[in-house]
Amino acid sequence: MSKANGAARPRTIIEKVWDNHVVADREGAPTLIYIDLHLVHEVTSPQAFSGLRERGLKVRRPELTVATTDHSIPTHDRSLPILDRIAAAQIDQLEKNCRDFGIKLFGPHSENQGIVHIIGPEQGFTQPGMTVVCGDSHTATHGAFGALAFGIGTSQVEHVLATQCLLQRKSQTYEVRVEGDLKNGVGAKDIILNLISRIGIGGGTGCVFEYCGSTIRSLSMEERMTICNMSIEAGARAGLVAPDEKTYEYLKGRPYAPKGAEWEKALSLWRQLPTDDGATFDKSITIDASSLEPMITFGTNPGMGISITAPVPDPATLSDPLERDSLAKALRYMDLPSGKPLLGHPVNVVFIGSCTNSRISDLRAAAGILKGRKVSPGVRVMVVPGSHIVKEQAQAEGLDRIFKDAGAEWREAGCSMCIAMNGDQLQPGEYSVSTSNRNFEGRQGKGGRTFLASPLTAAATAVTGVVTDVRTLL
Amino acid sequence: MEKFTKFTSRIAPLPIDNVDTDQIIPARFLKTISKVGLGDQLFCDWRYDEQGNPKPEFILNKPEGKAAQILLAGDNFGCGSSREHAPWALTQYGFRAVISTSFADIFRGNAVKNSVVPVEVPRDAQERLFKAVAENPEVTVTVDLAQQKLILPDGSAVEFPIDEFSKHCLLEGVDELGYILQQEDAIAAYEAKRPLTINALA
Ligand code: SF4
């Protein structure tokens, strides 16, 4: 506890983690903070390694650094060569960089390969109270463990590789309280899409969220990861959940989690992390979980979300001219009328995957809907597990059979059509329901149109071929 | 990094809110392992048609857009992915500043490390500028970072915020990594007392 003026000031978990990582606080510069875990992938790291070579620097703490190949890696049969020469060169470059600098790499053929934000928790690298960074904006995922986890640019990747430190300004604290029981068919993805639709995609700019309240406590670790994952979609660099027994239970026994006496020591430190009674936040919002319905986005940013039964908003109702134009532009791109719900809108593709929703519980949820049913003719359904381990687990449970019997594609782990860098992509004009996190213009392929939703909604849509309220199939 | 000096330029207006980094530089161009060569792909999907021909109505394809070193955008510029390819593409195209009412956090941090100044102005100044450039595409503004002022076409000045450290780095051409490396003692002292750690190499 900090004892400024002799009295312990109640602090939020966000402040505690920050205070624990201050290396130096010099006049006229941001705070220098220490980074406990640095995750690296092929897309945002090559220029950082080049920078190290140019300066003749080493990686300061290779044992705190973990790399994987996920963004540009194909999700077809891994025994086949990578046809995209530029993507192959980028992956080769990461392999070389990891060799040269002594970094652990979960490469294309590793048993543990997967999306960077899936494998961190899966391997037990991600732990409560840590600072975690990655050259990737969805690093906030790791906040589900009570870590302060955020995305950085490539210059900062170089800073962390070289010094294990970052210059950072303290963020504001933003309490996101979710209370009440979720209705059947409504889950973590719907909570976060609802939050973003309320506060907007810039609503959390300059802030770190703490998700709290009875609903958050009732969620599993995987569901908490889904929520924290999309913090950046509301503009917050990080979002976290205080650790509790579920967190410890999830972590215990994972390959890189502390063991024996170390575990006991870690546990006693982790138990001090939750926000103190009486601590205050700069901002706060409360969401009544019992009022939520399945959510879906209709536009070209994740804030353009509605309840699945609600009509697409009408630009004419907006008074601000720029906002009106932006909504009109989004609806033009999506080629959608306003005033009608999306229900019944045909789709070409359903994508179940990404660091938001590709963990085993997501696949189980989707399989629950697809079991004994068939994918609607003409709809391409891609199921892309988040990691090789998730894939194996799903196969052990027979989920792959359910997907394949239904007529869905069962693929290798990676980012896939979330970012459409690896050949998995929409064609111009196509519509998808996707469990990923971004619906920006062209995000899933040039000219493609994305509706973001939960794995349940995606699976229901796969069955009918049109945007569907999953509650009609439960 | 080169020192950032006061400059005057025409403005390329992009009156769109929430311009995300997938628009600034689409993901399919991120397979590069180099920092250069991204200027031609800046705003690629808004700038070129299916055949790769410039769309005449897009601002960067108009004479006034081509001549500008300043981009004037709607709210919340640079949201979305953390890709530093966004400021790389902007500088390589020739932009030295972006004017908006707000910037996404990661973009702001990436921009200042690449000599792109995020000029955050109040809504009314942004509106006045959009109006001025609509009336006369040749109007110019001046970005004076040392004074933290944007001089509008009518000669009036609008102050903009920037943190002291970024300003210093931009004006003096200081690189952050060099600054952090100088703090070796503090880093070593911190490392000596870390209570928990992991070992990925185990
Ligand atoms: S799955 Fe999508 S959002 Fe997640 S790390 Fe990969 S590209 Fe980024």
d(CA B63, CA B164): 36
Specify the ligand 1 atom closest to the Cα of A41.
Answer: 5
Residues of A whose CB is below 8 A from B104: 202, 205, 235
At A275, the pLDDT band (50, 70, 90 cuts) reads very high
B 36-55 residues with CB < 8 A to A: 45, 50
Which of B1, B43, B113, B180 is the best substitution to test chain A (most A C-beta atoms within 10 A)? B180
Contact B149, B7 (CB under 8 A): no
pLDDT over 50 (residue A1): no
- Residue A358 beta carbon below 6 angstroms from any ligand 1 atom: no
Q: For the segment A141-161, what is each residue's pLDDT rounded down to a tens digit?
A: 999 999 999 999 999 999 999
The answer to whether B147 contacts chain A (CB < 8 Å) is no
pTM: 0.96
Average pLDDT over residues B65-83: 95
Q: How much is the ipTM here?
A: 0.95
d(CA A61, CA B76): 35
Place of tokens 């250069």: B36
3-state secondary structure of A212: strand
DSSP string across B36-96:
-S-GGGTTHHHHB-TTSPBPTTSGGGSHHHHTEEEEEE-SSBTBS---THHHHHHHHHT--
Q: What is the pLDDT of residue A83?
A: 85
Neighbours of B146 (CB within 10 A): 11
Domain B7-175 CATH (choose: 2.40.50.100, 3.20.19.10, 3.40.50.300, 3.40.50.1220): 3.20.19.10
At A3, the pLDDT band (50, 70, 90 cuts) reads very low
Domain residue ranges in chain B: 7-175
All residues at 6 or more sequence positions from A222 whose CB lies less than 8 Å from its CB, including other chains: A359, A360, A361, A362
Minimum CA–CA partner of A167 in chain B: B180
Q: For the segment B12-56, what is each residue's pLDDT rounded down to a tens digit?
A: 999 999 999 999 999 999 999 999 899 999 999 999 999 999 999
- Residue A415 beta carbon below 6 angstroms from any ligand 1 atom: yes
- B60-64 contact pairs (CB < 8 A, 24+): B60/B12, B60/B93, B62/B137, B63/B137, B64/B10, B64/B12, B64/B133, B64/B137, B64/B138
Q: For the segment A436-455, what is each residue's pLDDT rounded down to a tens digit?
A: 999 999 999 999 999 999 99
- Residue A71 beta carbon below 6 angstroms from any ligand 1 atom: yes
CA A127 distance to own-chain centroid: 16
pLDDT over 60 (residue B96): yes
Residues of B whose CB is below 8 A from A129: 196
- Considering only CA atoms, which of A95, A79, A137, A293 is closest in space to residue A87? A95
Tokens linked to A414: 């990676």
Domains of chain A: residue spans and CATH: 13-168 (3.30.499.10), 172-244+275-291 (3.40.1060.10), 296-472 (3.30.499.10)
pLDDT over 90 (residue A8): no
Q: For the segment A363-388, what is each residue's pLDDT rounded down to a tens digit?
A: 999 999 999 999 999 999 999 999 99
Residues of A whose CB is below 8 A from B164: 28-29
- Considering only CA atoms, which of A160, A179, A189 is closest in space to residue A59? A160
Backbone angles phi, psi at A426, to 5 degrees: -80, 155
- Considering only CA atoms, which of A323, A327, A322 is closest in space to residue A339? A327
Nearest CB among A44, A256, A440 relative to B198 is that of A256
Contact B143, B7 (CB under 8 A): yes
3-state secondary structure of A194: helix
Which of B14, B18, B29, B123 is the best substitution to test chain A (most A C-beta atoms within 10 A)? B18
- Considering only CA atoms, which of A236, A191, A190, A237 is closest in space to residue A213? A191
At A2, the pLDDT band (50, 70, 90 cuts) reads very low
Sign of CA dihedral A217, A218, A220, A222: negative
Q: For the segment A322-342, what is each residue's pLDDT rounded down to a tens digit?
A: 889 999 999 999 999 999 999
Q: What is the pLDDT of residue A4?
A: 46
Burial of A230 per CB tally in 10 Å (0-12, 13-18, 19+): buried
Residues of B whose CB is below 8 A from A447: 45
pLDDT over 60 (residue A6): no
- Residue A345 beta carbon below 6 angstroms from any ligand 1 atom: no
d(CA A266, CA A257): 10
